[in-house]
Amino acid sequence: MSVHSRRENINLADMIDITEAGRAMHVFATELYPICRSITGNGIRSTLGRIGEQIPLILHEVPSGTAVFDWTVPNEWNIRDAYVANANGERVIDIRRHNLHILSYSTPIHARMPLAELKQHLFTLPDQPDLIPYRTSYYQENWGFCLTHNQLMGLTDGEYEIVIDSTLAPGSLTYAECFLPGATEDEVLISCHACHPSLANDNLSGIVLATWLAQLLGQSERRYSYRFVFIPGTIGSITWLARNEAHVGRIKHGLVLTCLGDPGHTTYKRSRQSTAEIDRVVEHVLRHTGTAYAIKDFFPYGYDERQYCSPGFNLPVGCLMRTPHGRFAEYHTSADNLDLVRPEALADSLAKLIAIVQVLEQNRTYRNLNPMCEPQLGKRGLYGAIGGQIDAKSYQLALLWVLNYSDGEHALIDIAERSGMPFATIAHAATALQSAGLLTEDVQSIEWSAR
């Protein structure tokens, strides 16, 4: 009870200067941007190391060759240098100028070849001739370079020297977890991929948001336990699920965070369950922000939600984004950079994420202890003038809504949705009614997925 009362008084949004946080997240993204990440290797390892300076993080190393469901943890890839030099020895393509120049997971090579032969290993975007594409070849051995189409057009015939100083050999896959225990063992999973090299929106925005949320939650009371996972995309979530299969039942709600720094409006992709509590909570929060947003039904491609929501797991994990992958022109190109990602967009995404967590923390199902007719609110001081920032008339209606629908079948989020009121007003009313002895928390949990 005392924990509960204390927690009710915590307003996460009050604990943080959102504008300042937006700026700080952008600074951290700027720090991480130059690291050449991939799904394994020192790039992701050092990235996780930097995150670990911000929040308590445990790194896990999973040996190459480990079977994880239908997949196998691949060899570890590390890259030291990569370039193409012309006859004059000038580096015409150079990883030191941009990490995207190297096809990720390129095998080592040192050779000379004419342009015609080299071209079979060069990737460009003819429709966006000034941008370098992002390409990978994780599961098929290959080597290559990515460059702008204009750069390719400028290459003269002749012989070139190719140097890729990489290693692709048994090692390990690295991922990290930040676990914040709460009052219950029920968990909220926050997942983001950390395997993309110099891409800011599609990678770094999710990482910095998760980091800042973890920092904030680390300082507050928590009803739920929170598990933040920083993983390489696809193989990382598959590996994590394979190693945690026995415990996924604890995950009550989850979000994949990605593409949260661009100037577009917020997009939420529902979990496969489609009406899980997380789905309803995010939709409620977005509806009450007063700004444009989009809701998408689950589809089985995208980010790691496709693994969390595979039919054998079917976890209540949605995906929070701004502009979805593939819908912004800069996606998977060198233009997905620190200019695309704005501090104010990061701040706005963080504010929404905090609001979502706030609702999850406070959403409960209560039972009206005086269900026969209305209780007399006046004699309990619940009717009439009340202080605070919440409008008095709304608050009194909220008391009636909570009393009428607290029949064990409606959680506070349901009552908020039905009344059209913001969750905070409904939760405030519930707290007051509980203090007045008119409401008790219903121990029966609601079967959300059955709705």
Which C-beta is closer to a copy of itself: that of 212 or that of 405? Answer: 405
**Nearest to a copy of itself of 213, 309 (CB atom):** 309
- The residue among 237 and 334 lying less far from a copy of itself, judged by its C-beta, is 237
CB of 141 to a copy of itself, least distance (A): 12
CB 251 within 8 A of CB 277: no
Tell me whether residue 30 or residue 370 sits nearer to a copy of itself (CB atom): 370
Nearer to a copy of itself by Cβ, of 89 and 301: the residue is 301
**Contact call for residues 64 and 173 (beta carbons, < 8 A):** yes
Q: How far apart are CA 62 and CA 45, in angstroms?
A: 12
CB within 8 A of 291, min separation 6: which ones? Answer: 265, 266
Q: How far is the CB of 418 from a copy of itself (least distance, A)?
A: 8
Q: Which is nearer to a copy of itself, 293 or 313 (CB)?
A: 313
- Closest approach of a copy of itself to the CB of residue 128, in Å: 19
Residues that bind a copy of itself (CB under 8 A): 68-71, 139-140, 234, 237-238, 241-242, 245, 272, 299-301, 306-307, 309-314, 368, 370-376, 378-379, 397, 400-401, 403-407, 419
CB of 272 to a copy of itself, least distance (A): 7
CB of 361 to a copy of itself, least distance (A): 25
Comparing CB distances to a copy of itself, the nearer of 70 and 339 is 70
Least distance in angstroms from the C-beta of 417 to a copy of itself: 12
Backbone angles phi, psi at 10, to 5 degrees: -80, 125
Rank residues 159 and 409 by Cβ distance to a copy of itself and give the closer one. Answer: 409
Which residue, 77 or 405, is less far from a copy of itself as judged by CB? 405
Strands 187-193 and 225-231, sheet pairing = parallel
Smallest separation (angstroms) from a copy of itself to the CB of 416: 14
Provide, rounded to whole angstroms, the least separation between the CB of residue 268 and a copy of itself: 18
Written as six digits, the tokens of 4 are 């509960």
Q: Nearer Cβ to a copy of itself, position 183 or 390?
A: 390
Shortest Å, Cβ 373 to a copy of itself: 5
* Alpha carbons 181 and 187: distance in angstroms, whole number: 8
Q: Which is nearer to a copy of itself, 121 or 272 (CB)?
A: 272
CB of 167 to a copy of itself, least distance (A): 22
State the Cα–Cα distance between residues 323 and 346, nearest whole angstrom. Answer: 13
CB of 401 to a copy of itself, least distance (A): 6
